[in-house]
Amino acid sequence: MRTRSPLLAGTLVCAALFLTPGCGDDGTTPASDGAGPTAGQDDGSAGGDDSSGGDDGGERVHVGDGGRPSGGDGTSTSAIPREGEALKGFDWSTLFPAGDGWKQFPQELVFNNGAEPDTLDPHIMTGVPEHRITMAMFEGLTGHHPRTLEAVPAVAEWWEISDDGLTYTFHLREGLTWSNGDPLTAEDLRWSWERAMAPTTASQYAYQFYAIKNGREFSDGTIKDFAQVGAKVIDPLTFEVTLHSPTAYFLELTSFETLFPIHRGSFEKHGIQWTRPENFVCNGPFVLSEWRPRDAIVMVPNENYWNRNMVRLTKIVAKPFDDLNTAYNEYIAGKMDWLPDVPQKRIDEVMLDPDYYAWPWLGAYFYRFNTTKAPFDDLRVRQALNLSIDKQSLCLDTLKSGETPATVYVPRAVRDYVDYPTLEGPAYDPAKAKQLLADAGFPGGEGFPDIDLTFNTSERHKQIAEVLSSMWRENLGINVKLRNMEWKVYLEQVRSMDYQMARAGWIGDYVDPNTFLDMFVTDGGNNNTGFASAEYDALIKSASSEPDLAKRGQMLHEAEKILCLEHLPIMPIYDYVKQGVRRSRLQGLQENIRATHPFQWMYMDGPPAQGR
Average pLDDT over residues 287-306: 96
State the chain's mean pLDDT as an integer.
Answer: 86
The structure's pTM equals 0.76
Q: Identify the band that residue 79 occupies on the pLDDT scale cut at 50, 70 and 90.
A: low
Peptide bond into 183 cis (omega under 30): no
Query: Do residues 318 and 114 lie in contact, with contact meaning Cβ atoms separated by under 8 Å?
Result: no
pLDDT of 90 reads: 82
pLDDT at 61 over 80: no
Interatomic CA distance for residues 81 and 84, integer angstroms: 7
Interatomic CA distance for residues 132 and 111, integer angstroms: 11
Nearest in space to 248 (alpha carbons), one of 24, 516, 514: 514
Measured in whole angstroms, how far is the alpha carbon of residue 98 from the centre of its chain?
31
Q: Per mean pLDDT, which range of 202-206, 298-302, 526-530 is the poorest?
A: 202-206
CB atoms within 10 A of CB 236: 15
pLDDT of 506 reads: 86
Q: Per mean pLDDT, which range of 7-16, 367-376, 592-601 is the poorest?
A: 7-16
Residue range 1-100+360-577, CATH number = 3.10.105.10
Query: Do residues 469 and 453 lie in contact, with contact meaning Cβ atoms separated by under 8 Å?
Result: yes
Contacts from 373-378 at CB under 8 Å and sequence distance 24+?
373/500, 374/449, 375/440, 375/442, 375/448, 375/449, 375/451, 376/451, 376/500, 376/501, 378/440
Average pLDDT over residues 69-88: 59
Q: Identify the band that residue 349 occupies on the pLDDT scale cut at 50, 70 and 90.
A: very high
pLDDT at 189 over 50: yes
Interatomic CA distance for residues 289 and 185, integer angstroms: 25
Q: Where along the chain do its domains lie?
A: 1-100+360-577, 115-311
Average pLDDT over residues 169-175: 98
In this structure, the chain runs to a length of 612
The DSSP bridge pattern shows strands 231-235 and 238-242 to be: antiparallel
Percent of the chain topping pLDDT 70: 87
490-509 CB burial, b ≥16 within 10 A, e <16: bbebbbebebbbbbbbbbbb
Q: Which residues contact 137 (CB under 8 A, 6 or more apart)?
A: 120, 282, 284, 285, 286, 287, 288, 299, 302
Homologous superfamily assigned to 115-311: Dipeptide-binding Protein; Domain 1 (3.90.76.10)
Q: Identify the band that residue 612 occupies on the pLDDT scale cut at 50, 70 and 90.
A: confident
pLDDT of 47 reads: 32
Q: Per mean pLDDT, which range of 245-249, 403-407, 460-464 is the poorest?
A: 245-249
pLDDT at 7 over 50: no
Q: Per mean pLDDT, which range of 147-161, 254-268, 412-426, 573-587 is the poorest?
A: 412-426
